[in-house]
Structure 1
């Protein structure tokens, strides 16, 4: 009986020395946790993250409701770009996939630059995943200018 009492008292004294506190904090989703950790690391607001979290875009300079410089992070490699992101209430879309069929992934960044009644305008940037060089993406205006032919003929009216 004395031995059981001694073990019981030992258990109580050990438990009395330990306290468990549960912090009163909200639970964040993994993307929110990544966002807050990355903002601390880069000291710049996180704008967008790709679904696979390999590509991240940070605001570096903001002026008059638009971002005028960004930092692109691809797998921990970072580079600054002077892309403008106007406040259209639409976050940029980020993807990491093989766009050029060379078996190497590229980052695709799609930025909405304008919107109106039934019209959306986007700017697309493609960045090499290895050396972070920006690849040339042909603008739709150039494609249309070289693809569509038109002529104007004057019709003569008889008197």
Structure 2
């Protein structure tokens, strides 16, 4: 249960305190030049540092303060600013993803998972519900422990879907385990390095991957209007395709493996049609 919690919460702030003549003289507090009064005194000195009651200054600072008694957390935000909300959940991972809606995007992500809280201020996702974040909890590196995979949609439109993946993997440091985000090799860089294309006729392109050559009527190198990450058959994958007229019917599937402390391409193949990825998570 959430309720306003002002009187007993104290928050360290940069404040102006007028020196006092004696220990019994109340400290005077100014916020943006305006004096703040309170009874009982609103300042406490703890280990030589001044702490001020949020109740006394929240109005002047235009703050909203909420206390979640069940989770033992305090949320402080600016009045009028968009508030974070649940954008995806995955029960089997005990994971809840929060974000703030702003100008058509989700931003300022916060992940609560298995008692841990992580913040990701630079993540972005469309705020269109159909393109909400997707969460997976699978052992994608085949090491016996599940990883949390978060797929974000950074762009979409007619015939266009651009996503990015984030993998949080349990890591042990100094005897303690926590989820650490791992590096993922850029899929466009992988294709530029390993896939060669050559136009062989007005409507045919020769695709070379390693020693294998395939003729296809669609593929246009360096024009990937579909970059779709997912978890497929317990592996992190990304499907990449172009957009022509008519729409493309095939693309490149990259299957990743965990090697040298990052996710790198294990297999690159041309598929005549997009695989049927399983969509997980719930959207709000």
| TM-score above 0.5, yes or no | yes
- 1:96 counterpart = 2:137: yes
- Report deviation, 1:77: 1.0
Q: Residues 74 and 117 (structure 1 numbering): CA distance in 2 closer, same or farther, change over 3 Å?
A: same
1:131 aligned residue: 178
- 5+ residue gaps, structure 2, are 1-68, 76-83, 171-176, 200-284
Q: Residues 40 and 85 (structure 1 numbering): CA distance in 2 closer, same or farther, change over 3 Å?
A: farther
Runs of 4+ that moved beyond 3 A: 37-44
2:247 aligned residue: none
How many corresponding residue pairs?
115
Q: Residues 64 and 42 (structure 1 numbering): CA distance in 2 closer, same or farther, change over 3 Å?
A: farther
Q: If each structure's strand is expressed as a fraction of its own residues, which one has the higher value?
A: 2
1:84 aligned residue: 124
Q: Deviation digits for residues 99-141 of structure 1, max 9, x if unmatched?
A: 1111111100011122222231111110114422111112221
- 5+ residue gaps, structure 1, are 1-36, 153-159
Q: Distance in 1 between matches of 2:179 and 2:73?
A: 20
Report the TM-score, using the length of structure 2 for normalisation.
0.36
Report the TM-score, using the length of structure 1 for normalisation.
0.61
- 1:69 counterpart = 2:111: no
- Report deviation, 1:74: 2.0
Q: Tell me the C-alpha RMSD between the 2 structures.
A: 2.8
CA contact (8 A) 1:51 1:95 kept: no
